[in-house]
Structure 1
Amino acid sequence: MPVSSLARPLVAGLGPHGERPASPELLRPSADMLERARERAFHVAIVLHTTASDWAQRQIAGIKAGLEQAGAVVVDIVDCGYDAATQIAAIERLVQSKPDAVISIPVGSTAVAAAFRKLAVAGIKLVLLDNAPSGLLQETDYVSVISSDNFGLGQIAASLISPHIRQNGTVCVVAYNVDFFATAQREIAFGKWMRHERPDITLTQLKFDVPANAGGAVGPYLDANPDLDGMFVVWDEPAVASLPVFSGRSRIPVMTTVDLGSAIAEALLEGTIVKGVAAQRPFEQGEIAATAAIVGLTGNAVPPWIVLPGVAVTSGNVAEVYEHVGGAPSFYSADDTRG
C-alpha cells in the first residue's frame, strides 16, 4: 500500500478543454487486450520537451515499463530541447516512419498544433502528456491527455510557501514565457490560493524563456527587489538554475516549486532557500500513458483527461517521497506492493 504521506487527494483542476478528471484506475486493460497487443508487438515513439531532467527520465522509465507488459517496444526517443521547430521536425519524421503510437508532451499549445494533427491523418495514435495543442480534439486527433493535476500543484506550492512569508510580504511568480497549459494552470492556482488565503501578500511576476537560463532573469530581479520575501518557480529545472544567484545576498527569499528532481530535493533537505515542493508522479504518469496507448491501439475507449494528484513535500518527508516519485528504480519492481 502507499506510504501515509502519499495518500491521494481530490483533483482540483480541469482539463485543457474543461474536461473533468478521470482516475487512472479506470484504465484496466483486460487479459484479451494485452494478448492482442502482444500479438501485434506495437512500436511506440516518445517525443518529449526534454529528456535531460529527472522528471523526464522517470517518465520514460514508466512508459517503457507499461509498454513492456503489453509486448510493445519503444523505437524512438526524441529530446526536443524545449524547441518547437525541433519538435515539429521530429513529428514530421515520425509521420513518415509510422510507429503505431506516439507519446508526447507538446512544447507549446499553438506552434506545434499543425504538426501533431498530421499523426492522426497518418493513422498513428497519439497520447499526450499534460497539454493538448490548440484545436486538437480527443478521439479525432489524440487518444487522451495523461496529466498531473497542475492546478492542484499550484495550490500545494502556495500552501507550502505561505507559512514562511511575513504579513504584507511580497512573492514573485517566476513563469514560463510559453503558452503551455500545465505551467499556466500552476500560476493561476498559486495566485488564486494566495488571494483567498493570504490576501495580505503582494504577488508579482517574472518570466523566463529558457529553463537553464532562468537565473539570468532572476538575478537582476533580486537586485532590483532586495526586500522580496519569496518566489514560486513553475518547475524545478528553472528553480535549480536560479539557486546560484541567491548566494551572497544580505536577505534571501524563500522558494517553492514543482517537481522533485534530485537537485531540488537536496536543496529542500538543506532548507535555506527551498521550503517546499509540489511533486508530480512521473513514473506512474508514464505507466498510465503507456497503458492508454495500448488501450487505444486495441480499439478501446479511453477517458479524455486522466489525472494524477500531486504530493506536498517538505524537508520532513522529502526522502520518503523522492523514493516514490523520482528515486530508486527498485521501488517500481515487479514485487512492489503498492495499492
Structure 2
Amino acid sequence: MPSELVFCHPDGGIYGLQFPMSNSISQLDISTMKELSNFVNLLSRHKNLSSIDLEFHRKGDVRAQRIINHAFSLNVQQLTIACLFKKNKKYSHDERVAFPLSLSGSKTLEHLSLRGSCGLFDEEIVLTSAQRFSSLTTLLLHSITLYDGFLSMCPNLKNLTLFSYRMTGSPVLRISHPQLSNLTLEKGECFTHTVNGGRFHVSAPELASLHFFGFCPQMFTTGDGFPCLENAHLSFHSRLECISGSYAPTIVNLLQQFRNVKHLTLSMEIIERLNSSEELISHRPCPLANLKSLTLLPEVATFVQHKHTRVIMSPEVQKYLLSSSPKATLTEVLTLI
C-alpha cells in the first residue's frame, strides 16, 4: 500500500508525496531556500515515485515554480498540484492578479490535475507555456486560465475535465483529440469577461461521454460528429443571452450529432428554447434513433430567480426527441438535491 510523506510550509504550503516503499508518515518544514534545496535532493533520491501531490498556499518567490518543475522531471505517472494563492492586501477584490505558471513536459506522466482558486480574493493561475506531454491520458484543470494551443501539447488525452476555466489567445476553445473518450466542460462562464458561453470546436471521434454544464455556448461545432457518443448531459444556465431564442440553432445542431446516444440528460432551459423555436425542428427527423432514456433536469440556479420550476414539453418537441425511440424512458427530475 502506498503511503504519503507530508510536507508543510507556511509560505509554500506543500503536502502529499506518495512513496510506494514507505510505511511511515513524516512532516518537514520548508521555510528557506536551503531547506528547499534539501527537499529537492530528497525527491531526487526516490527514483520509484509514482504519484506526487503538491499544494501551495502562497507564492513564496520562485519556490512554487521551481518545485513544480522538479516534480515534472521525476518521471512520475500521476501529479496533483493545487495553487491556492491569496491576493496581496493592496489589491481590491475586483482587480485581477495573475500568477503565471509554466509547465515543463513529461514523457511518463499519465494523470495531471492542476487546480487554482476562483474567489474574489484569490490570485488567478495562468498557464503561460508548456512542453509536450506525450503519455498524458487524463487531465483535470480547475479554476485555471489556459492559453490557445495548450491542449495540443497533450495529444493522447482520453479523459479531459475543464472546470471554472478561462481561455486566452483565441475566441474558440479547440479540442482535437482522436482518443478522447470522456469530456467534461463545467462553468465556462470564466471563458470570457462577458456572460456568454464561448465558442467550442470539438473533434473527438471516439468520444463516449459528454458532460456540459454552464452558459449556453454561442457555437459548438464538431469535426465528423460523435459516432461513438453514448452518454450526453447538457445543462445550460438560463440567463441573459441564453434566454434569447438565438441560441436555439446551437442546441439543435448539437443534438443532431447525438445519433448514437443511448442516455441523454437535458436541462429545462433547453426544452424551453426548443418549445419557442419549433420552426427549427418541425421538418427535421429525430436524430436520437438509439435512445434508451431521456432525463429532464430542473432549471439551473443562477443569480436570476425564476418564478416557474417546470417547463411542459410541447408535442412537437417531444416528437422530435422521442419519435425514433418509442421505447425510451422519459424521466423528469423536479428538484436537485
TM-score by length of 1: 0.24
Larger radius of gyration: 2
Higher RCO structure (Cα 8 Å, ≥6 apart) = 1
Richer in helix (by share): 1
Richer in strand (by share): 2
TM-score by length of 2: 0.24
